[in-house]
Structure 1
């Protein structure tokens, strides 16, 4: 009996110790374990004209920010804005157009306090370096030798909108309409000229700077179109808002500005 009593006493002490130990947190309030050096894949939706500049700084940024991986999706700003409206995964939107960013702002799809104008650009007329057109101004686009003039689709491509403004102000849009070849983004416009599918094309100066196959014929006067400004903002549904803010801050830093300027941005 004494042996049984000792066993029962030990069992009771064990139960009491278990009950007096740390209590489980109520459901939904338990502390989540912190993961050291958690990896973040930052999805950046960016205007096609930013392709070379952003790709050039990818490695150095990732090296200086361990755990952050930059993933880009390039395209026309209008189409990228539509993707965000439709719920496509995105952390940061870098637009070549204030108008497309404004639409997302109106629909409360970005964090307005993060919005910043991080760069600018200019509009230029280009032709192939070999056997290209010999005109020297936008006014000369009426030259009958120019049968194909590549421009961005103004409905979705900011460069196309700026081009239409220039040609409207010069009263040339309607008269040239049957010779216009529309690109789905500014890089496609550049490709049309490089491949000889268009005698001339209108792109950003930054795009012209990336190509060894084209030369600039003329730069559009700034009073013929709205200022070409590049706004960036964190997408409201971003799962990595802090990392997105950090990358956007980098683009406005001296180092980021220098990287953009090397590719023809202002």
Structure 2
């Protein structure tokens, strides 16, 4: 009996030992497995230096807009036009307003007198930008003095000289050939007034200048001659056809006879060399050559020069 008890005890002790060893092995395996389940992080690789960035290609420059003409820039500018007295009404009433409506940033001022006086004023420093005379003589003189840009000159218009008398009266003379029948004759001063130069030429070619000059009152410009006849201060006078058409106070008696003038009555226009506003001046001269401007000139009795 005792022997069986001892054997049973030994078996029990042996089993406990076995399970203790087994438990320890399991615990060891579990610990090892847990440690292997999360591998240690690999050592960090040294940071690589960033490659230098390639310089960006410059953006293509935007295509530039074509430059505007200086005179079309819209910057306010004022030009002075020196024009023969016979052009005053067509300029002031029609042409300048038409031009400034088209080019509102350009202001056009005008000074009007005999072409000879305007020539002298330009020679003395008048700050004009455009000159338009009633004869080529004054324009050519200024060109020869380098006071007008030669390549800007345009022989723009033609005119006629006519004999006039007060409206509503019986003319004291009815032709250029019989002009000395009148007691008083108004003509422009031949020394400075183109219409006076044309008058002298016509009467000289007719052989009567000396007789005319004995009765003549010399006007400082064509407007003065016109006014003397309109007011009745002179029996007859010689003016441009365009001036005679500006008032109902005179009547046209006759045109200068064919052949009495060697050349046509031509109105040239050009740009003053000293002009500080040549772009604007050029626009004005170009405008005067346009169909719309020439139509206005025709309405005032001028003929486009061809």
TM range (shorter): 0.7 to 0.9
Aligned partner of residue 127 in structure 2, secondary structure: coil
CA positional deviation for 1:176: 2.1
Alignment of 1:41 onto 2:83: no
Tell me the distance in 2 between the aligned counterparts of 1:142 and 1:110.
40
Q: Give the corresponding residue for 2:297.
A: 260
The 5 A counterparts of 1:68-147 are 68-143=106-181, 146-147=182-183
Cα pair 1:132 1:199 within 8 Å, conserved = no
TM score, norm. by length of structure 2: 0.73
Aligned partner of residue 45 in structure 1, secondary structure: strand
Cα pair 2:229 2:236 within 8 Å, conserved = yes
Tell me the distance in 1 between the aligned counterparts of 2:244 and 2:150.
32
Tell me the distance in 2 between the aligned counterparts of 1:229 and 1:215.
23
CA positional deviation for 1:211: 0.9
Q: Which runs of 5 or more residues in structure 1 are unaligned?
A: 1-35
CA positional deviation for 1:58: 1.7
Tell me the distance in 2 between the aligned counterparts of 1:46 and 1:215.
25
Report the RMSD for the aligned CA atoms in angstroms. Answer: 1.3
Aligned partner of residue 259 in structure 2, secondary structure: helix
Alignment of 1:249 onto 2:304: no
Aligned partner of residue 223 in structure 1, secondary structure: coil
Q: Give the corresponding residue for 1:7.
A: none
Cα pair 2:173 2:180 within 8 Å, conserved = no
Tell me the distance in 2 between the aligned counterparts of 1:229 and 1:240.
26
Aligned partner of residue 117 in structure 1, secondary structure: strand
CA positional deviation for 1:134: 4.8
Higher relative contact order (CA 8 A, sep 6+): 1
Q: Give the corresponding residue for 1:50.
A: 87
Aligned length: 230
Runs of 4+ displaced beyond 3 Å: none
